[in-house]
């Protein structure tokens, strides 16, 4: 759901970025020793780190003005209840997607 809600751009945005109108979501499953690895990827624009930072600051997870690496910002999306969506829908806004 996160790839659909946050990952893929509109057809217009994709055209402007030189991408095909239809987005691509890939799901891969593999075994690594005794573990199963599920990998989901998409060809969207990537994480909106500014939105992640703003929401992290609003929720008190990030000090305003703090210098964070991309990995540190990315890890915020796994915090319980975290969502950058402004509205709750069938696809986003509940903070349970990641």
Looking at per-residue confidence, does 34 or 46 come out higher? 34
pTM of the entire structure? 0.67
Which percentage of the chain shows pLDDT scores above 90? 56
Position 40 pLDDT exceeds 90 = no
Which pLDDT does position 39 carry in this prediction? 94
| Length reported for the chain | 98
In this structure, are strands 35-42 and 25-32 parallel, antiparallel, or unpaired? antiparallel
Looking at per-residue confidence, does 29 or 4 come out higher? 29
Position 50 pLDDT exceeds 90 = yes
């Amino acid at each position: 759901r996160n790839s659909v809600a946050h990952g893929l751009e509109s057809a217009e945005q994709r055209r402007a970025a030189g991408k095909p109108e239809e987005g691509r979501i890939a799901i891969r499953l593999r075994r690594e020793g005794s573990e199963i690895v599920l990998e989901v990827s998409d060809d969207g624009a990537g994480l909106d780190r500014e939105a992640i930072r703003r929401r992290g600051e609003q929720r008190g997870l990030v000090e305003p003005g703090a210098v964070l690496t991309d990995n540190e910002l990315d890890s915020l999306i796994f915090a319980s209840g975290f969502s950058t969506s402004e509205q709750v829908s069938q696809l986003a806004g509940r903070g349970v997607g990641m």
